[in-house]
Chains A and B, each alone.
Chain A
Amino acid sequence: MPSPDLPPDIPSVLDELPGDLMIWILIVSELLVFGAGLLAFLGMRAADPVAFAQDQEMLNRVAGAVNTVVLVTSGYCAARAVQSVQRTRAWLSAAMVLGAVFLVVKGMEYADKARHGIGIETSDFFTFYYLLTGFHAMHVVAGLVIFALLMRWPSPRNLEAGAAFWHMVDLVWVLLFPIIYLVR
């Protein structure tokens, strides 16, 4: 019997949202952080576009493009894991493998930069490059940890929240890649 002190449930626009409200608060927070970082990057570029273009030439665009396809495919696997009843772990495993591939490609990029003596303090461009792509890569690592936990506890609610986090990582990358690697 409902308590007479509690107001009746009123339909809210928030009921439309798929999954937990908290994961959406996290998604919005992350988008704001990365959005601010990318706009700050473009703001700094406006002060010295020639130097930024020279530094950008040292980036591996093919690696960035490959990672876009890898992450988009991984996101597809995560979405299939949520929808699949019997093959959840198989789709999750595929998403994890692709997430690991993303990190390997990113690691190769960083190693190549290190070989050329390029670090976070080399220039303003590379400071932003390392901060933004590094922060994003940390989210990929966090996503892989979440997927590992989902392999152990794959409840529909957990799966939906974990996949939403992964799609947020995917979303950030599709906005980050063109701005850091291509806008020149």
Chain B
Amino acid sequence: MKNRQSSGLGRRSVLAAGLAAGGGLGLPLFFPGLAEAASYPPLGNFPAGVAGDSAFIGITPPLTGAYSADGKDHALGYQLAIAQINAGGAIPAAWGLKGKGVLGKTLRYKIADSELKPNVAVQAQTQFIEQDHAIMITGCVSSATAIALEELAQRMKVLNMVGCSGSNDTTSKDCQRYGFRSQPSAHMAATALGPVVAKALGSNRKVAYLVPDYTYGFSVFDSFSNATKKYGWTTTSKQVVPVGAADYSSALINIANSGADIFCNIAFGNDAVASCKQADQFGVLKKMKLVVPNISAFQAQELGAKIMSGVYGTFDFWWTLEDRYPLAKTFVETFDAANKYRPSWGAHIAYMQTYVWAVAVERAGTFYPVEVIKTLEASKADPFDSTLGKVWYRAEDHQMVRPVPVVQGKMPADMKTKDDYFNILEMVPGEQVINPLTDLMGCKLGTYT
């Protein structure tokens, strides 16, 4: 009995394998579209979303609200990358893509304003997934939105290349199998910035913090105060303010009276501009040195070189990096030509991650989410060429390992052109500043299916 069964199984499985091999080889010759469909089971919007000759990407930046400047920049980055990929030619080829589009399919997309509200983004992306059969969702300038969309992606089994998000939680407490993040985490930015400012500004400093009241704000505060602890930096004041607050006078008065000599401003977007402006009015900037762990896209333009000169901080990307990486140069030039200004880092994240995703899909040979995820997770062995040199994603928490630019604001006299606001002091390698594998900060990636 047992023998018969096992031999029966054996014969059957050999036959099946033979048929599959033959079918797998033969059928695609006659029915090219079947190649994918035959190999992988349906999952999320696969294969329905890519059955035709296009693939859809859902994008939800905030075009209104406190971070709308970064949001607009972010959206333009997506548009540029997708246009270039669809056109084919030398530019996508330099990234490693073949032909036009991704795997021969044109990329279609729609942009919906998230209004900086996670709920609106979730709603819009759900529509994109259900109605437009999006094969990838992306776009945000807020960790709150990022986390909500990662959750959605995991539930609907559609890949989410996280837009702008600096909170640690995005790849720790709230990490998801279907989410990948390229921006340096708060931990990475703080660990990169800490030694630089300690060297420049001295040890045993007293710091007053202005912290926006949400996950990103707390992340940056925790990471930065931890990173500078070993240099003897202490926290004399921690002022928590709501996102979108207009009047910082109360918080700034507390800070002005705190006896600190460093003012660490973690507010972002419009809030960064407003709070720095008011800090200047309250004389805080005269008494203390300003440190901005994560500088917003247009902060320098809006505040002016006078306030930003000498300020230490980090960015995801600054346009003068074009001198170091050829892909960055192409990015900055083509963006400037299309939009009449040099891109900020919101646009960069959009551009770079879209390309990396496209390359990953072509490497996997399929849009099937599990394969693409596995390809991204295996990128350590085969890093991607990018606007920041070689980058790869960590399999354990899906954080991109990439260099962190530490910058300092230039004096007005030293600016060579009108947007030459920053000096890049260092490009700190990602491996040096990422949290070690022994401390994934609570990340438990979900399932593949």
Our verdict on whether A and B bind, yes or no, reads: no
Chain A interface residues toward B at CB < 8 A: none
Chain B interface residues toward A at CB < 8 A: none
